[in-house]
Structure formats: C-alpha cells, structure tokens
Amino acid sequence: MLTLLMSVMISFLIPMIVMSLATILSKKLINDREKSSPFECGFDPKSSARMPFSLRFFLIAVIFLIFDVEIALILPIIIIFKSSNLLTWTASTMFFIIILLTGLIYEWNQGALQWAE
C-alpha cells in the first residue's frame, strides 16, 4: 500500500516539477514590438495578417470528417457479418445507415452542401 501511495505521489510530483520549470524558463523577458509584428519584406504590413476564411469550406471539411469517421465505423460491420445473428446484424446496420442518411438529408435541406449560390 505504501509503495502504491509513493508511486502515485511521484507520478504527480515529477510532471508538476517539469511543468513549473517549463513555465519559468519559457517566459520572454523582452517584448519587442518589431519582433512580435508580422514580417513583410522589411516594411510595415499594408493589411491585416488575418485573411478571411470561407465558412462554407469549413462546413464541407467538417462534414467530410464526420462521414469519414462513420465509414471507419461501417467497415467492421462487414467483418462481423459471418459471426453474428443475421436479424440483429441487419437491424443494427440499417439503424446506423438510417441515422447517417437522416444527417445527410438534414445537411442537404439546410443548404450546407451547396457550394455555389
């Protein structure tokens, strides 16, 4: 019991020491306006360094990631087919696909899939 308590204390103590040292050593002592400003060929920037980002592109990227993860969840369903009950397998697969199609239809109705207007 004592060794368990000691190992828990050490596992909390070492990361706390490392994080404290990293915080202390990583502080910048001199804040220079020229060093913290964006660099554009040695001249002051003409416009903001932040460029506008297309929200539609972001939505399409998020939808792609969601459906990509869902495809990764569908692939094991094919492997499980031989070792499971046919009725249970069909019901769970159809339920999952209906949820996916419902989400796709909702996104389509909201207009998130229309790139050009």
Is residue 18 in a domain? no
Is residue 74 in a domain? yes
Which range of residues forms the domain containing residue 93? Answer: 56-109
Is residue 82 in a domain? yes
Predicted confidence at residue 38, as pLDDT, reads: 65
- Cα Dmax for the chain: 70
| Whether residue 67 has pLDDT greater than 70 | yes
Predicted confidence at residue 17, as pLDDT, reads: 94
Is residue 62 in a domain? yes
Is residue 75 in a domain? yes
Is residue 65 in a domain? yes
Rounded CA separation 86/41 (Å): 67
Q: Which residues contact 74 (CB under 8 A, 6 or more apart)?
A: 96, 97
CA–CA distances in Å: residue 7 to residues 2, 10, 18: 9, 5, 17
Closest C-alpha among 104, 22, 28, 31 to residue 71: 104
Is residue 23 in a domain? no
* More confidently predicted of 78 and 44: 78
Say which residue the tokens 């207009």 belong to: 111
Is residue 97 in a domain? yes
- Mean pLDDT of the region 9-34: 82
pLDDT in tens, 88-108: 989 988 998 898 889 888 888
Query: What is the number of structural domains in the chain?
Result: 1
